[in-house]
Every structure is written in C-alpha cells, then in structure tokens.
Amino acid sequence: MDEIDQQLLKEAKNALGLAYAPYSKFLVGAAILSDDGKTYAGCNVENAAYPLGNCAEASAISAMIMGGGKHIVRVLTVGSGNRPVTPCGGCRQRIREFATFDVPVTCVGIDGGEPLFTSIEKLLPHSFGPQFLLSE
C-alpha cells in the first residue's frame, strides 16, 4: 500500500473501532479521500430493525458531503476477518454517485491477509450514474 492508502487505513481503522455492530459483530470502517483534499471516515451502525442500519461507506460519504467535499478521489474499506472486505452492492452504487469509474478502491481485512486493489468500475460494471440524468 502506498502512503495515501496507509493514511486512509489508519482513519478507517479508527472508524472501525467506533462501529456499532451488536447483532452481526461484523465491524467495518471506511475512509474516503475527497476532491477537497480532506479525508472522511465512517463506520457501520446496526439497528435492531436490520434495514435501518448504516454502512461504513454511506457514513463516510455523508461526512464528506457535510464537510464540503463533492467528489470521491479514493476509497478504503476495512472490516472484520483476514479477507478483503468489499463495499456491499448498495454502497458500490453510493460510491459511484460521487466517483468516476477509475477511482481506486482498496479493501482490507483487519486481521491481515492480502489487500484487494480494485476500482469502482470493476466493483460495479455497467453502472448507472449521474450522467444518465444530468445534462451538462
């Protein structure tokens, strides 16, 4: 991992430590580098009514928007276990809303193992994005 990924990993691990996952016990942290040069982190927050929980990536995106960022430049996710934890399908679409196809996505397991280095295009091929609805 390069220096940017190392910084994102540090922030994602900090977020993972704050995750609220009493039901699944599956902790996830995410960190986003935004076009404003800032890093925004988020963690998963479960709810007894399962569909009402929030994913780490969605939390990080919300923090980015609240902080003034507009576009995602890079994403890193870290979760329980030793296999790379990738964003769920819904979060892949959420990332796509604010990212170009070539945005790097790094996925890590907190207990080690090889990271997965990919892109939003590889995670969500043939995706539907804002350009289909917005005229420029």
In sequence order, what DSSP letters do the residues of the chain get, joined into one string?
--HHHHHHHHHHHHHHTT-B-TTT---EEEEEEETTS-EEEEE-B--SSGGG-B-HHHHHHHHHHHHT--SEEEEEEEESSSS--PPPHHHHHHHHHHS-TT-EEEEEETT-SPPEEEEHHHHSTT---GGGT---
Average pLDDT over residues 91-120: 96
Angle at 58 between CA 57 and CA 63, to 5 degrees: 95
57 assigned to active site:
yes
CB 119 within 8 A of CB 105: yes
Domain that holds residue 106: 3-132
Q: What is the pLDDT of residue 50?
A: 85
Percentage of the chain surpassing pLDDT 70?
A: 99
Q: Is the pLDDT of residue 136 over 60?
A: no
**What is the CATH number for 113?**
3.40.140.10
Number of independent structural domains in the chain: 1
CB 61 within 8 A of CB 30: no
Helix axes 89-98, 56-67, angle to 10 degrees: 20
Which of 46, 57, 114, 136 does the annotation list as catalytic?
A: 57
pTM here?
0.93
**81 dihedral zone (left: phi>0; alpha: psi -120 to 50; beta):** left
106-122 residue pLDDT tens: 999 999 889 999 999 99
